[in-house]
């Protein structure tokens, strides 16, 4: 540990923003010279697997940070359910009085309103989960009262500059420079939630993207067996006294060309690391913060990464310092690094490594099993007490994490005590994922002693309640049937109980002008900076041709339309992730005339919301709902061809414009709940008429999403 690296260097913008999942990491960030620290509470954090903080503990840590001139931001960046608005209002009110952090990081639009109602007066940052991906979004965010926007990790340096040039006064920008990447766009991943209620928007993601998937060859046979199991698992009708037909699905697979089977972690990303390239961010106006991801990481990671980026920021022209910083980053125990899409001129900007493992940590050795069956590792480096090891990777049955209890020299032998059902095979890699070197522990102990001298402020009860928007009665409307494009040679005709909908795309806006006014036009869930001008032009073209029904799939897309939207149906779409009355009140104030509710909600929440809503509400009732949308390409997996998870669950991928959409092979189907939803007050329903490719089996299984489970 080099103490010379931590001299008193005057902090200049951009700030180095460090993660903290517990008090040890918080103190490590202070020790390393971070300018700001972000963290989560025990509730309403998008990293609920981290230890996180209570208010009394946080009040002491914040006082210590403020004494050092370090800012503290609290992440309350989760989706808020209908029953939680009063709870989160009271929590923000207590947080404002007891802790007074410098900023809140929020995803849900409700917090922009509830935080101010609760008396919180400091900064409000919109998370990457809020999906502000193009310049117009920044203007809309400022109008709603945001003071900072955290940019998506998929942007190139040129796109970051473009966003900066369009940034309004009074709004700051923050970007990630280091840490874990998600394959799917933040706020546009429903993979974990669709598989069983553990939503990334609620901080509970189980990371299905990190798993090993297979495609081709034997996969086709596996899919046929899956189809047979579903077919034989239900009663079959007899016809005219004959034996029931065995519809095993062979007809479905006749046209399938079976290629060589291949497998890979196609959606498991490496870690973002801009390292020496961060000097290109120094002169960008409005970009005031360099963010380091890692609230589930330990103090070793936080200390080293903060140290390295502080060196790179403060000494951009010093080649010796740059080299030292790169060496320090290699000690941080993350995954292999990638620049992702940061450099626009690079041809291959896919940050995945399908043929390798993408678990975090430094390879420390491999499993060996002796003649008595004992499981051991002979480390490639010295192991220290309180180091933490990972055996294998997440989707292997023997995956485990465990502490080191005594010093093990390089080449020594450490016997691992694992449950019998988790016995790994010989050669399984073992990774060092956290370490507690004595020098760092001594530094943290000195900061802990300072912290212990500070009193904590006790919490006071809050007896007030938030003001919620006035609910309106439902208004019945026709069903909407959404397609990628119209069937060739056909034009939609008016129907009393049906509206034809199309995704807004350059191809679809070229349809006959006589058809345009009869279409419901759905804007895509993600619009990138280089797509905004074309999108604005297409919207204006449709308006001139008489289009009057639009669905925006991010609240910020409201800026593409006139204010007020006279004689127009302007709906907030299902990808807006609206889930509570306060958020619906915000989009109503923006000029939306109706809104789709997030399909992630459970039955109880879904049925409660119409009674609280200031807008007519809709639901996606059926169709293939994408489990994720990505800007990163497909490396290894073939589009429009079935691939399966380790549990045999089939999926497929499809390109739409500049994004990849991932679909499950079993569709969302709430049609059996239609009457219940209508009785609760839902005014309209949509059906996503997406057709799977020929290689995907027609499963009998249907998804109710989280209707019958609790959204954690």
Which segments in the chain show pLDDT lower than 50?
1-11, 234-257, 489, 491-492, 494
Of residues 391, 382, 387, the one with CA closest to residue 416: 391
- Strands 650-656 and 643-644: what pairing? antiparallel
pLDDT at residue 251, rounded to an integer: 34
CA 105 to chain centre: 14
Domains 14-194+270-333 and 468-625+668-712 are alike in CATH topology: yes
Q: Domain 468-625+668-712 carries which CATH code?
A: 3.20.20
Domain boundaries, the chain: 14-194+270-333, 212-236+258-267+626-666, 362-434, 468-625+668-712
pLDDT at residue 51, rounded to an integer: 62
pLDDT at residue 48, rounded to an integer: 58
Structure tokens at 338: 């990638």
The 10 Å CB-count burial string (b at 16+, else e) for 44-59 is bbbbbebbbbebebbb
Bridge partners of 389, per DSSP, are 402, 432
Structure tokens at 290: 């360099």
Cα(395)–Cα(690) distance, integer angstroms: 30
Q: Domain 362-434 carries which CATH code?
A: 2.40.30
Structure tokens at 213: 């998937």
Task: Dump the DSSP string for 539-600.
Answer: HHHHHHTT--EEEESSGGGGGGS-SS-TT-EEEE-GGG---SHHHHHHHHHHT-SEEEPPTT
Q: What is the pLDDT of residues 691-700, one digit of tens each?
A: 899 888 888 8
CATH class of 14-194+270-333: alpha beta
Cα(368)–Cα(481) distance, integer angstroms: 58
Task: Decide: helix, strand or coil at residue 3.
Answer: helix
Cα(95)–Cα(98) distance, integer angstroms: 5
Whole-model pTM: value is 0.91
């Amino acid at each position: 540990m080099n103490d010379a690296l931590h001299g008193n260097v005057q902090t200049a913008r951009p700030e180095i923003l460090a993660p903290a999942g517990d008090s040890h990491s918080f103190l490590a960030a202070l020790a390393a010279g971070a300018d700001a620290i972000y963290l989560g509470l025990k509730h309403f954090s998008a990293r609920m697997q981290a230890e996180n903080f209570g208010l009394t503990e946080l009040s002491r840590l914040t006082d210590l940070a403020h004494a050092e001139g370090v800012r503290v931001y609290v992440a309350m960046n989760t989706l808020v359910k209908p029953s939680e608005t009063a709870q989160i209002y009271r929590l923000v009110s207590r947080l404002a009085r007891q802790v007074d952090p410098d900023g809140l990081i929020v995803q849900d639009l409700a917090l922009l309103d509830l935080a101010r109602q609760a008396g919180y007066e400091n900064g409000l940052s919109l998370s990457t989960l809020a999906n502000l991906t193009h310049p117009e979004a920044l203007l809309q965010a400022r109008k709603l009262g945001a003071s900072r926007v955290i940019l998506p990790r998929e942007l190139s340096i040129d796109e970051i500059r473009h966003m900066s040039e369009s940034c309004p006064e009074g709004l700051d920008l923050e970007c990630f420079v280091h840490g874990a990447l998600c394959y799917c766009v933040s706020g546009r991943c429903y993979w974990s939630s669709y598989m069983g209620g553990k939503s990334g928007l609620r901080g509970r993601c189980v990371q299905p993207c990190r798993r090993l998937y297979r495609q081709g060859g034997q996969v086709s046979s596996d899919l046929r067996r899956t189809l047979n199991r579903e077919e034989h698992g239900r009663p079959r009708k007899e016809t005219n006294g004959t034996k029931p037909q065995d519809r095993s699905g062979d007809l479905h697979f006749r046209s399938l060309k079976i290629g060589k089977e291949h497998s890979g972690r196609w959606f498991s990303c490496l870690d973002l690391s801009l390292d020496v390239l961060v000097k290109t961010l120094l002169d960008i106006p409005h970009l005031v913060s360099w963010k380091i991801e890692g609230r589930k990481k330990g103090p070793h990671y936080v200390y080293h990464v903060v140290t390295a980026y502080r060196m790179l920021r403060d000494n951009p022209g010093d080649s010796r310092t740059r080299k030292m910083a790169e060496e320090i980053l290699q000690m941080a125990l993350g995954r292999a690094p990638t620049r992702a899409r940061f450099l626009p001129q690079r041809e291959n900007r896919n940050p995945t490594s399908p043929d390798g493992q993408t678990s975090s940590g430094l390879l420390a050795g491999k499993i060996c099993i002796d003649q008595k069956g004992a499981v051991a590792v002979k480390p490639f480096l010295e192991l220290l007490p309180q180091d933490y090891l990972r055996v294998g990777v997440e989707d292997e049955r023997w995956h485990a994490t465990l502490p080191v209890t005594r010093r093990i020299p390089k080449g020594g032998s450490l016997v691992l005590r694992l449950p019998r059902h988790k016995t790994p095979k010989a050669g399984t890699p073992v990774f060092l994922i956290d370490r507690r070197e004595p020098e760092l522990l001594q530094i943290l102990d000195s900061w802990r002693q300072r912290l212990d001298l500070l009193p904590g402020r006790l919490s006071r009860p809050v007896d007030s309640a938030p003001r919620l928007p006035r609910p309106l009665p439902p208004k019945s409307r026709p069903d909407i049937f959404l397609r990628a494009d119209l069937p060739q040679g056909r034009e939609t005709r008016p129907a009393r109980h049906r509206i034809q909908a199309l995704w807004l795309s350059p191809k679809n806006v070229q349809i006959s002008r006589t058809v345009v006014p009869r279409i419901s036009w759905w804007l895509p869930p993600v619009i990138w900076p280089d797509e905004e001008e074309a999108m604005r032009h297409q919207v204006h073209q449709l308006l001139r041709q008489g289009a009057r029904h639009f669905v925006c799939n991010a609240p910020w897309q409201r800026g593409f339309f006139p204010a007020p939207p006279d004689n127009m149906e302007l709906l907030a779409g299902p990808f807006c992730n609206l889930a509570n009355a306060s958020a619906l009140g915000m989009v109503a104030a923006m000029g939306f005339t109706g809104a789709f509710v997030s399909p992630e909600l459970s039955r109880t929440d879904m049925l409660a919301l119409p009674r609280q809503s200031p807008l007519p509400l809709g639901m996606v009732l059926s169709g293939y709902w994408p489990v994720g949308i990505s800007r990163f390409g497909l490396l290894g997996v073939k589009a429009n061809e079935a691939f399966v998870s380790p549990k045999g669950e089939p999926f497929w991928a499809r390109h739409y414009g500049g994004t990849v959409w991932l679909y499950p092979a079993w569709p969302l189907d709430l049609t059996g709940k239609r009457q219940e939803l209508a009785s609760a007050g839902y005014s309209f329903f949509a059906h996503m008429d997406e057709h799977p490719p020929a290689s995907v089996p027609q499963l009998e299984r249907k998804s109710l999403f989280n209707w019958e489970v609790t959204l954690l």
